[in-house]
Structure 1
Amino acid sequence: MAGQKPYYITTPIYYVNDVPHIGHAYTTLACDVLARFMRLDGRDVKFLTGTDEHGQKVEKSAQVAGVDPQTFTDRVSQNFRDLVGAMNYTNDDFIRTTEPRHIEACQALWRVLAEKGEIYLGSYAGWYAVRDEAFYGEDELTTTPTGRKLAPSGAECEWVEEPSYFFRLSAWQDRLLKFYEDNPDFILPPGKRNEVMAFVKSGLRDLSVSRTTFNWGVPVPDDEQHIMYVWLDALTNYITALGYPNTEAGGDYAKYWPADLHMVGKDILRFHAVYWPAFLMAAGLEPPKRVFAHGWWTIEGQKMSKSLGNVVAPDALISTYGLDPTRYFLLREVPFGNDGDFSRRAMVNRLNGDLANDYGNLVQRVLSMIQKNCAAKVPEAGAFTEADQKLLGAAGALLDTVRRELTVQAFHKAIEAIWGVIGDANRYVDEQAPWALRKTDPARMGTVLYVLAETIRRLAILTQPLMPDASAKILDQLAVPAEQRGFDRLAEGQALASGTPLAPPQGVFPRFVEEAGN
């Protein structure tokens, strides 16, 4: 069945030497909204997130904490599991790179690459940034007045010399460029695609894929003096979760691979858009269909940093503003793919403007009028006027618009389209004035309120991926059964049944009132 086409979406796996912040919440939220949307649209979804637990940076963090790396990762990985519950994510799996299934998958991929002659033993001498877990060429570095070498990210680099296995990345330059040309939507947004292509065209060097100076990682098969470079290890998680190396028909790999979307922050695009497809193609495996690199958040105009003390924790946002308003703000405030700034003022404006005044007020006043004037039942609808048909038509066209925008991860445009219809509905209320019709034409009042209730039903079904709890409350108030909330219920001929009893309405989006002194 076409509607059941599988959809596989992943977040990056998060470094466990970090504490979850607004950036982590943002990436996984975008994936959660897509996963929920696709499920409601009849797709068979696999949604993966998890934690990246190997590498020199993690080993050093464990030493600073005075515990062994496994104890450290067990403790800190839990913070990211807790974020899943706090943000109401619906991931189907949570992977940790210290799990036996992942060690097995990494070593299996290594063996395939080695058998195909894509990996060879040499020695590495060059600049390495522990913070980025990345190697850099001399031409990529800047030198401070004190002689420190800094990567483009600002991370300090150190000179490393050690035996190393290398992946023949240089041999993949032309094949990668052809792949990008043949698959123009592989990297989004388009500006990021241009950056990657420029990087590849500038020349690729073979990539060091093992280390010997520390041991917290996946052992290289048949040479346990080496551990795998953390990015070869980390990227493999996307196929580990599908049961790799089992690629047989009937398994998850055969069902879900290639991934429909890897969602990443722009700082790790190179690993996902250059190294990962090269590793996969070298192993005879298909690359993912898309890598989307989103922007970064600043806080009140400043870069988020521990030293400034301005790191925004998701649980602080949720406790202050509520879960669904937080989810709404993060995906509504800036065009997805761009950098964005979090400010309290912008958050409060969205909560009180878009949610309380526009959406919440529409729902509350329509359902209150039905409660008072239509015997607390879905009203009877008479013949629809041109104005009625126009509003219902706008609501009916929304699914195609939202689907089209989310196909290219344009969350802000999808939300704008929904809010466009919310605006249409509020204007329709004012123009039709059902409170006046109550005295002059009660039958017409019933039709107007029916049109509005049906429009709200459609809006609430479509806002479920973004604001699941609030949307459920609205659909509960319209007495829409849980099994009638999929996108199939937006098809022609599907609508509210007149005469359905409705419970007294409850406010869904309260106004946010700042405490005195804030």
Structure 2
Amino acid sequence: VSALKHKGEDFFQKFWPEAQHFIGKDIVKPHGVFWPTMLMAAGLPLYKHLNVHGFWTVEGQKMSKSLGNTISPLEMKKKIGMDAFRYFLLREGVFGQDADFRQDSLTARYNADLANNLGNLVSRVLAMQQKYFDGVVQPLGPTWAPEDEELRNKFVSAEKELARHMAELQFHRALESVWGAIDHANRYVVQTSPFTLFKDADKRPRVGEVLHHLLEAIRAASRLLAPFLPDTVKELSSLLALNEADAAYRAPWGRCFAPGHKVDGPKVLFPRIEAPANE
């Protein structure tokens, strides 16, 4: 309140009525009873909504210094990177409910979603683009095959679903929507089989189109994942040779990559976590 008032009454009237409060469930009473009472006594409007999150346990136990089972975000950053750790917390947890941190769940989620799904898609698309066309993006034809349209529509739908779920603070559902589209992109690779088509010289223009659509899928995924995986999105932009500040980065599907645009070669974004041999 004081900070907003310091900026002026117009600033306060613009932002305070839209304020969202985020708290842990152990302090609902002071923030849900005492604080609103104080605001009403002062003649100030209440915040827009009180959002209460649950607790994280570890392997079914409450986190405790005495038990030595606390999870250090900085240690997790060293092990798997902050993007991967953030993704796990948002994907595994349901806002408003308690969640349980388990190492096997972290490993499974990381390998399945980040290493195998997103990471593998980026790696093989850029590898084929480099191998077949020296990284130069090929033009799209005036008409698109039904499977191309379906791929684009999956990402269009994912963006709408993401917006709806984010408004409801259902972060896990928002990520499910994006990963549904990424899953479809991986199936599109199998469906179109560019590695097989390239063996036929007459079908190489089609290979160029398929890879162009897949590069668009990676661009679309990077835009949708920016709030969740900011460091990874910067790497993806670099690999695609795109500037996030440019209008082309936000252009409609099929209008981003200009003729002659060249992307970089593949890079391992999420190295797999290998389980110990005795497991």
> Smaller-chain TM-score range?
over 0.9
Q: Distance in 2 between matches of 1:485 and 1:332?
A: 30
User: 1:126-147 CA distances to partner (integer Å, 9 max, x unpaired)?
Assistant: xxxxxxxxxxxxxxxxxxxxxx
User: 1:17-45 CA distances to partner (integer Å, 9 max, x unpaired)?
Assistant: xxxxxxxxxxxxxxxxxxxxxxxxxxxxx
Residue 421 (str. 1) matches residue 166 (str. 2): no
Q: Is the 8 A contact 1:262 1:291 kept in 2?
A: yes
Partner residue of 2:217 out of 455, 459, 465: 455
User: 1:144-176 CA distances to partner (integer Å, 9 max, x unpaired)?
Assistant: xxxxxxxxxxxxxxxxxxxxxxxxxxxxxxxxx
The one-letter code of the counterpart of 1:374 is: F
Q: Return closer, same or farther for 1:422/1:381 CA change in 2, 3 Å cut-off.
A: same
Q: Distance in 1 between matches of 2:247 and 2:63?
A: 39
Q: Distance in 2 between matches of 1:493 and 1:435?
A: 22
Partner residue of 1:292 out of 51, 62, 66: 51
Secondary structure at the counterpart of residue 286 of structure 1: coil
Secondary structure at the counterpart of residue 198 of structure 2: helix
Q: Which one has the bigger strand percentage?
A: 1
Matches within 5 A, 1:253-268: 253-268=12-27
Q: What's 1:306 paired with? A: 65
**What's the offset of the Cα at 1:341?**
0.4
Q: What's 2:265 paired with? A: 504
Q: Which one has the bigger helix percentage?
A: 2
Partner residue of 1:337 out of 84, 91, 96: 96
Q: What's 1:321 paired with? A: 80
Q: What's 1:408 paired with? A: 168
Q: What's 2:156 paired with? A: 396
Q: Distance in 2 between matches of 1:421 and 1:316?
A: 31
Partner residue of 1:480 out of 233, 242, 253: 242
The one-letter code of the counterpart of 1:483 is: A
Q: Distance in 2 between matches of 1:355 and 1:323?
A: 13
**What's the offset of the Cα at 1:379?**
2.0
Q: Is the 8 A contact 2:126 2:264 kept in 1?
A: no
**What's the offset of the Cα at 1:490?**
5.5
**What's the offset of the Cα at 1:281?**
2.0
Q: Is the 8 A contact 2:32 2:50 kept in 1?
A: yes
Matches within 5 A, 1:110-509: 239-243=1-5, 247-249=8-10, 251=11, 253-382=12-141, 383-440=143-200, 441-484=203-246, 489=250, 491=252, 494-509=255-270
Q: Return closer, same or farther for 1:266/1:392 CA change in 2, 3 Å cut-off.
A: same
Matches within 5 A, 1:67-82: none
Q: Is the 8 A contact 2:140 2:254 kept in 1?
A: no
Higher relative contact order (CA 8 A, sep 6+): 2
**Unaligned runs of at least 5 residues, structure 2:** none
**What's the offset of the Cα at 1:517?**
6.4
Secondary structure at the counterpart of residue 22 of structure 2: strand
Q: Which has the larger radius of gyration?
A: 1
Q: Return closer, same or farther for 1:291/1:307 CA change in 2, 3 Å cut-off.
A: same
Q: Distance in 2 between matches of 1:492 and 1:426?
A: 18
Normalising to structure 1: TM-score of the pair?
0.51
Q: Return closer, same or farther for 1:493/1:452 CA change in 2, 3 Å cut-off.
A: closer
**What's the offset of the Cα at 1:352?**
0.7
CA RMSD of aligned residues (A): 2.0
**What's the offset of the Cα at 1:329?**
0.4
Q: Distance in 1 between matches of 2:252 and 2:165?
A: 19
Secondary structure at the counterpart of residue 21 of structure 2: strand
Q: In percent, how many aligned pairs have the same letter?
A: 40
**What's the offset of the Cα at 1:515?**
5.1
**What's the offset of the Cα at 1:270?**
2.2
Secondary structure at the counterpart of residue 435 of structure 1: helix
Q: Is the 8 A contact 1:381 1:498 kept in 2?
A: no
Matches within 5 A, 1:25-104: none
User: 1:408-448 CA distances to partner (integer Å, 9 max, x unpaired)?
Assistant: 11100000000000100011101110001112311111111
Q: Return closer, same or farther for 1:260/1:485 CA change in 2, 3 Å cut-off.
A: farther
Greater shift, 300-309 or 451-460, is seen at 300-309
Secondary structure at the counterpart of residue 151 of structure 2: helix
User: 1:494-515 CA distances to partner (integer Å, 9 max, x unpaired)?
Assistant: 5333420112221111112245
The one-letter code of the counterpart of 2:153 is: G
Q: Distance in 2 between matches of 1:389 and 1:375?
A: 26
Q: Distance in 2 between matches of 1:514 and 1:493?
A: 41
The one-letter code of the counterpart of 1:511 is: R
